Structure 1
């Protein structure tokens, strides 16, 4: 069976790191194709080294420059690097991603999560703010596109 392809928004945070650990433990069932992180370049480099994603997004052009430099210093291949909210959307709508884990903090996850649902993705939502801000909108977008919205925390399930 072909492994499911995963994109992770917020890969260097607590939930993102836990998701990466699960993917590593179940490497025969999952592979990471895209990662997005705010600014933890060291942790993101380690994830890139282990999983070799096709696409990575970071918060700013400054972070992108730091990431390129660190990857080159470590003699690692540099994946395509996207920046800012548009970068988050690129990760969330990556053509090869079967599932998007939305684990960003705060409202920054709203637009990428909505775009993932509009693209028909299965979205594992660990971002409570997105449900609070626009739970009904997310549910409708998922229904229209035939996407799947899966809250992945007990608080989120209560809101959902």
Structure 2
């Protein structure tokens, strides 16, 4: 079900996976005010719908780097969301993917958020990952002990 669609971004919600998908326009620079506004809209939707799973599809990024203002917005808003899993869909721009992945992972690690983050190749791989149970810290510790 489409939640929002305009020239900048499309938000779609999958009820079966409790997944919000965000896809940005290939013409949108991440340094633009318009991009910042789409991120604000994304977080508003995550909060209103209480979304635990998020798929980020940046398409073919139109350039730019994540601004301090945008990173600051992430810092202040990600901890207050119900997010449990964030999937980043690979784009043709490896550097962009890696930058976004590292920023989100840094926030999750620094603030010890109970969010899993993965960079995946296809929407099918995202759906497969979302169907798997979450690995909590205690489960990972038990598994590591069992393997040893």
TM-score range, shorter chain: 0.3 to 0.5
Q: Structure 1 length normalisation: TM-score? A: 0.34
TM-score w.r.t. structure 2 length?
Answer: 0.36
Q: Which has the larger radius of gyration?
A: 2
